[in-house]
């Protein structure tokens, strides 16, 4: 039932193309430069974040020894996003310290908080599965070799070294890439596909129940109700004792007009839920479901 559990940056409505406006939040939208970030109003957080970060010297020395001739990087971020405000200045400071050529770095400000995928005006993000920002995509010869999603596994410098040196690296929200593939192939719409089988494929990729729960609601917001229900079903297979997961599954059944199953799961969630705020939300959905069932 709770829809936002993990750090998940939401978008504001006023957006610009690497410029600022006099109305609403000032947001960079599209390809920009480091100079754009250094200017007002972004400079307040960018400059301090850049200057205050000191990459690990031992690791940066190792990075300097790596072959970077064929490496390029895209940075997808949001100037409205706390994670981007923290990580982007640090990452650019790291690149500066290892003398990584600025011409091989592309900065793209994203918008459209209601979008399943974060977007830029010329859609540089298209087909790249940008669910969360910042996303740092590292390429070799124009082919993605890995990415850092939202925040590093260890540190930006250690993660980058692992990626460039072809080490074993699994980014945050690695499960999203697989779900994205399923969405593209309409796997989640095929009634003959085993939910248990999908869950087993995701078991080692999800870090908590909140990963898939947030994605399920994101799909609901885009009227992908059947796909959202399948995601909630997968999450229930992985976390069958969670009241929150159970109530979300009930809401998924409500949205797909299976009111009997919706009532069953919502009532089950009420039985084991210990949080008063969550109980109120469950009761609201349960009431609407019972009203619909009578029609």
CATH number at residue 76: 3.40.30.10
The structure tokens 């124009």 sit at 142
State whether 98 and 114 are in the same domain. Answer: yes
State whether 164 and 37 are in the same domain. Answer: yes
pLDDT of residue 3: 59
pLDDT of residue 180: 82
Given a cut of 70, whether residue 195 has pLDDT beyond it is: yes
State whether 278 and 259 are in the same domain. Answer: yes
State whether 65 and 156 are in the same domain. Answer: yes
Residue 11's pLDDT band (boundaries 50, 70, 90)?
A: very low
State whether 198 and 221 are in the same domain. Answer: yes
- Please give the Cα distance from 9 to 85 (Å, whole number): 11
The answer to whether residue 49 is domain-embedded is: yes
- Tell how many helices (H) and how many strands (E) occur in the chain: 12, 5
Q: Mean pLDDT, to the nearest integer, of 122-129?
A: 67
Pick 112 or 241 by higher pLDDT: 241
Other Cβ atoms less than 10 A from the Cβ of 286: the count is 21
State whether 81 and 129 are in the same domain. Answer: yes
Report how far apart, in Å, the C-alpha atoms of 286 and of each of 138, 214, 238 are.
46, 20, 24
Given a cut of 90, whether residue 73 has pLDDT beyond it is: yes
Q: Give the pairing type, strands 143-149 and 105-109.
A: unpaired
- Total tally of structural domains belonging to the chain: 2
Q: Mean pLDDT, to the nearest integer, of 62-70?
A: 96
Among 1-15, 63-77, 101-115, top mean pLDDT goes to 63-77
* Preceding amide of 134 cis, omega within 30: yes
Look up residue 16 and give its DSSP letter: B
The answer to whether residue 260 is domain-embedded is: yes
Lowest mean pLDDT among 16-30, 80-94, 127-141, 168-182: 16-30
State whether 50 and 164 are in the same domain. Answer: yes
Other Cβ atoms less than 10 A from the Cβ of 141: the count is 9
Q: Mean pLDDT, to the nearest integer, of 155-177?
A: 92
Residue 6's pLDDT band (boundaries 50, 70, 90)?
A: very low
CATH number at residue 222: 1.25.40.10
pLDDT of residue 287: 92
State whether 232 and 154 are in the same domain. Answer: no
- Please give the Cα distance from 35 to 232 (Å, whole number): 43
Estimate the crossing angle of helix 174-184 against helix 195-202, to 10 degrees.
150
State whether 97 and 138 are in the same domain. Answer: yes
Given a cut of 80, whether residue 121 has pLDDT beyond it is: no
Domain boundary among the residues 118, 149, 172 is at: 172
State whether 138 and 199 are in the same domain. Answer: no
Pick 95 or 4 by higher pLDDT: 95
State whether 75 and 163 are in the same domain. Answer: yes
Condensed to tens digits (0 to 9), the pLDDT of residues 197-211 reads 999 999 988 888 988
Given a cut of 70, whether residue 226 has pLDDT beyond it is: yes
Q: Mean pLDDT, to the nearest integer, of 110-138?
A: 71
Domain boundary among the residues 157, 172, 187 is at: 172
Domain boundary among the residues 142, 172, 202 is at: 172
Q: How high does pLDDT run on average in the chain?
A: 87
pLDDT of residue 127: 66
Range of the domain at 151: 30-172
Bridge partners of 109, per DSSP, are 30, 77
pLDDT of residue 119: 61
- Percent with pLDDT over 90 in the chain: 66
Condensed to tens digits (0 to 9), the pLDDT of residues 15-64 reads 334 443 333 457 888 899 999 999 999 999 999 999 999 999 999 999 99
């Amino acid at each position: 039932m709770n829809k936002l559990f993990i750090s998940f940056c939401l978008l504001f409505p006023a957006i610009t193309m690497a410029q600022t406006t006099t109305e609403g939040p000032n947001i960079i939208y599209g390809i920009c430069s480091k100079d754009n970030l250094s200017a007002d109003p972004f400079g307040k957080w960018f400059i301090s974040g850049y200057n205050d970060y000191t990459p690990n010297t031992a690791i940066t020395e190792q990075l300097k020894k790596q072959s970077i001739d064929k490496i390029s990087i895209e940075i997808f971020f949001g100037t409205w996003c706390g994670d981007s405000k923290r990580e982007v200045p640090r990452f650019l400071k790291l690149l500066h310290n290892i003398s990584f050529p600025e011409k091989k770095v592309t900065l793209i400000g994203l918008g459209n908080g209601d979008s399943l995928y974060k977007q830029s005006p010329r859609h540089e993000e298209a087909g790249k599965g940008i669910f969360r920002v910042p996303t740092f995509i590292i390429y070799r010869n124009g082919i993605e070799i890995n990415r850092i999603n939202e925040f590093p596994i260890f540190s930006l410098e250690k993660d980058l070294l692992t990626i460039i040196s072809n080490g074993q690296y699994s980014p945050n929200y690695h499960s999203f890439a697989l779900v994205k593939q399923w969405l593209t192939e309409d796997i989640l719409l095929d009634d003959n596909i085993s939910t248990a089988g999908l869950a087993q494929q995701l078991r080692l990729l999800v870090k908590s129940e909140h990963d898939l729960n947030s994605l399920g609601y994101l799909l609901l917001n885009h009227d992908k109700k059947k796909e959202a229900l399948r995601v909630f079903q997968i999450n229930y297979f992985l976390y069958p004792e969670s009241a929150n997961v159970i109530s979300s599954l009930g809401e998924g059944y409500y949205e797909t007009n299976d009111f009997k199953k919706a009532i069953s799961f919502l009532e089950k969630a009420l039985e084991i839920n210990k949080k008063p705020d969550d109980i109120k939300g469950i009761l609201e959905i349960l009431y609407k479901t019972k009203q619909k069932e009578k029609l």
